[in-house]
């Protein structure tokens, strides 16, 4: 169906949309920042970042800051492209809805 | 997170977005038309229309056309409002992404 073609199933979740919009705007973000911006539990955020990592849209770097583990998420080139394509598809969808 | 506020979880699925865009544009649609427009299996379409019905966004009327059962889906006033609010939230999201 033309109106929903190009919408990416990986981005059906608004949490994943939120994560990607932060990463695309900033290049990277750490776990605590994403968790606070999106008001999520640890488990919920981890599950969505895992899905995005499995899709190849982000990579993560685990480090220790003192004794505390800290994970940084970095958007991949593929992730940027996929997000841009999804945004374009959302725009086409809205245009059709408004016409 | 402001950028994803207002996005409606019921409409996270692109199939449900597709169903609602047909219903909002036409007021109603029957099962066969939706199935063919959205290229879905019976089970998949039935599961998504059930979710939308449970949310109060559509009602369905079951009839027989000759010996064949036929279901017509009708968008509710609540469904129209929820869809319009979601479309507005998508627009705000896109605006933020583009800025």
Ordered by where they begin, the domains of chain B are 12-98 (1.10.10.10)
Asked if B84 has any chain A CB less than 8 Å from its own CB, the reply is no
Element (H, E) at B42: helix B42-54
Nearest-Å Rg of the Cα atoms of chain B is: 15
Q: Encode chain A (99 residues) as per-residue pLDDT tens digits.
A: 778 989 999 999 999 999 999 999 999 999 999 999 999 999 999 999 999 999 999 999 998 888 888 899 999 999 999 999 999 999 999 998 888
Helices within A5-76 (DSSP H only): 14-26, 31-38, 42-54
Q: Verify whether the Cβ–Cβ distance B94 to A93 is below 8 Å.
A: no
The structure's pTM equals: 0.91
Chain A residues near residue B4 by CB distance under 8 angstroms: 14-15, 17-18, 21, 38
């Amino acid at each position: 169906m033309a109106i929903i073609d190009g919408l990416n199933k990986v981005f059906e979740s608004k949490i994943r949309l939120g994560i990607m919009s932060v990463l695309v705007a900033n290049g990277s973000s750490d776990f605590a920042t994403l968790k606070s911006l999106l008001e999520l539990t640890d488990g919920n955020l981890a599950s969505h970042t895992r899905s995005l990592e499995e899709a190849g849209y982000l990579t993560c770097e685990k480090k220790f800051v003192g004794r505390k583990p800290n994970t940084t998420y970095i958007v991949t080139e593929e992730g940027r492209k996929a997000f841009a394509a999804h945004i374009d598809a959302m725009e086409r969808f809205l245009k059709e809805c408004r016409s």
